[in-house]
């Protein structure tokens, strides 16, 4: 079977570069077009891109000519790593032109007819694209810090229900894009504010874990309280999480660990190319997970959980971590595309 041609929007940015790395040898998708700002259009990718990945630009990709968002595209699937300042209108433009836009940007995540998908959790939310007003479609993945929280909460919510969640994040500088945070602000320091991050965490997990209805998604009934910080770590968002279960639901810590470790979803059932065999991995060492040691476990596609223990205010607490530019961004969008194709939703958009 021939591979599906795809385009990368925002190809020269941090997430766009990660798309190139993850898609260069993908068995289903072939990079056919690269799109960036007008100042990059017309240049070869190697000329336009300040490459910051830990491997060279693939030769074929380096020679591709970069297009602008004003240029027509032929690829049916577009992966969007566009900055939120331009993503909203650009993604609608492409959906109106009949493309399937798999977006990492925040602009359309909370639209009533746009699915916010983590396919292990809510692949059935892809059905929402049939309600969209465009010939094409827009599909979103969550904010990077929400990704790991929602992954860890999903099997717990399914098994016991959740009353409330409190989370504090320690987020890597790569989450701010290149060049990230000024060295004078981040070296030897913690910045206790990331614009818009807490608001996203407090609503996105509820949509992901919510119930699909004819009108949209009824949010999951639990409350999330988030505090987000930026720390001097290159890759890997670490989060401390306290979970309160409904009264009468007080599982042992071993039971919680077993539910997390054994949880699987649609991507694992279908053996999708980017799916980790174990989407949640519970680590037994008392000082793990750590970004420097664990961020690339399972190719950066799993959520790692450690320090599971009882909590005197909630029911239990834990530390979770994941790779923010892989599973938290480009890898999540690619897995969404794989799931969308595997479930047959893409058939109506094939050209």
Q: What is the pLDDT of residue 351?
A: 73
Cα 101 from Cα 246, distance rounded (Å)? 38
Which tens digit of pLDDT belongs to each residue from 188-247?
999 999 999 999 999 999 999 999 999 899 999 999 999 999 999 999 999 999 999 999
Above pLDDT 90, what percent of the chain? Answer: 95
Residues of the chain by 3-state class (helix, strand, coil), percent to 5: 35, 25, 40
Cβ(237)–Cβ(322) below 8 Å: yes
pLDDT of 47 over the 80 cut:
yes
CATH number of 4-143+330-349: 3.40.50.720
Domain layout of the chain by residue ranges: 4-143+330-349, 144-323
Q: Residue 270 corresponds to which tokens in the numbers above?
A: 């279908």
Cα 294 from Cα 300, distance rounded (Å)? 9
Query: pTM, whole model, 2 decimals?
Result: 0.96
Cβ(199)–Cβ(36) below 8 Å: no
pLDDT of 274 over the 90 cut:
yes
Q: What is the pLDDT of residue 177?
A: 87
**Nearest to 31, CA basis, from 97, 92, 75:** 75
Cβ(285)–Cβ(214) below 8 Å: no
| Residue 28: partners with Cβ closer than 8 Å, 6 or more residues away | 3, 4, 273, 338, 341
Cα 241 from Cα 323, distance rounded (Å)? 17
* Residue 20 DSSP SS3: helix
Which tens digit of pLDDT belongs to each residue from 48-75?
999 999 899 999 999 999 999 999 999 9
**Nearest to 82, CA basis, from 327, 346, 328, 330:** 330
Paired strand residues for 239? 169, 320
pLDDT band, residue 334 (cuts 50/70/90): very high
pLDDT of 179 over the 90 cut:
no
pLDDT of 178 over the 90 cut:
no
User: Is the peptide bond between 78 and the residue preceding it cis, with omega within 30 degrees of 0?
Assistant: no
- What distances in angstroms separate CA 230 from CA 168, 238, 293, one per listed residue? 11, 10, 19
Average pLDDT, the chain: 96
Above pLDDT 70, what percent of the chain? Answer: 100
CATH number of 144-323: 3.30.360.10
CA 153, 156, 160, 164 dihedral sign is negative
Mean pLDDT of 36-52: 94
Cα 102 from Cα 332, distance rounded (Å)? 10
* Residue 48 DSSP SS3: helix
Q: Residue 121 corresponds to which tokens in the numbers above?
A: 């959790």
pLDDT band, residue 300 (cuts 50/70/90): very high
Q: Residue 310 corresponds to which tokens in the numbers above?
A: 């009882």
Q: What is the pLDDT of residue 249?
A: 84
* Residue 32 DSSP SS3: strand
Cβ(60)–Cβ(28) below 8 Å: no
pLDDT of 1 over the 70 cut:
no
pLDDT of 90 over the 90 cut:
yes
Element housing 243 (H / E): strand 237-244
Which tens digit of pLDDT belongs to each residue from 130-174?
999 999 999 999 999 999 999 999 999 999 999 999 999 999 999
Cβ(229)–Cβ(192) below 8 Å: yes
Mean pLDDT of 112-125: 98
Q: What is the pLDDT of residue 205?
A: 96
* Residues classed as catalytic: 144, 237
Q: What is the pLDDT of residue 306?
A: 98
Cα 116 from Cα 121, distance rounded (Å)? 10
Mean pLDDT of 321-349: 97
């Amino acid at each position: 079977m021939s591979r599906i041609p795809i385009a990368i929007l925002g190809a020269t940015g941090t997430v766009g570069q990660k798309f190139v790395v993850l898609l260069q040898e993908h068995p289903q998708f072939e990079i056919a077009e690269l799109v960036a700002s007008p100042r990059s259009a017309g240049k070869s990718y190697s000329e336009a891109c300040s490459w910051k990945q830990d491997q060279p630009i693939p030769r074929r990709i380096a020679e591709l000519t970069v297009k602008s968002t004003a240029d027509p595209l032929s690829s049916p699937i577009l992966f969007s790593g566009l900055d939120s300042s331009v993503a909203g209108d650009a993604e609608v433009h492409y959906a109106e032109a009949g493309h399937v836009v798999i977006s990492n940007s925040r602009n359309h995540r909370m639209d009533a007819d746009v699915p916010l998908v983590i396919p292990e959790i809510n692949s059935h939310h892809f059905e929402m694209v049939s309600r969209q007003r465009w010939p094409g479609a827009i599909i979103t993945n969550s904010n990077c810090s929400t990704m790991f929280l929602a992954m860890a909460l999903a099997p717990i919510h399914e098994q016991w229900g959740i009353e409330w969640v409190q989370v504090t994040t320690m987020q890597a500088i790569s989450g701010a894009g290149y060049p990230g945070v000024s060295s004078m602000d981040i070296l030897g320091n913690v910045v206790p504010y990331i614009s818009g991050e807490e608001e996203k965490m407090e609503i996105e997990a509820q949509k992901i874990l919510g119930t699909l209805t004819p009108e949209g998604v009824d949010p999951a009934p639990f409350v999330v309280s988030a505090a987000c910080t930026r720390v001097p770590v290159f890759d890997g968002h670490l989060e401390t999480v306290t979970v309160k279960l409904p009264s009468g639901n007080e599982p042992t810590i071993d039971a919680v660990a077993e539910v997390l470790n054994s949880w699987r979803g649609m991507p694992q059932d279908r053996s999708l190319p980017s799916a980790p065999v174990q989407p949640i991995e519970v680590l037994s060492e008392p000082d793990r997970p750590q970004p420097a040691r664990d961020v690339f476990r399972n190719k950066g596609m799993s959520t790692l959980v450690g320090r599971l223990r009882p909590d005197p205010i909630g029911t239990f607490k834990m530390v979770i971590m994941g790779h923010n530019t892989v599973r938290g961004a480009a890898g999540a969008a690619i897995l969404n595309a794989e799931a969308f194709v595997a479930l047959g939703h893409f058939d109506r958009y094939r050209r």
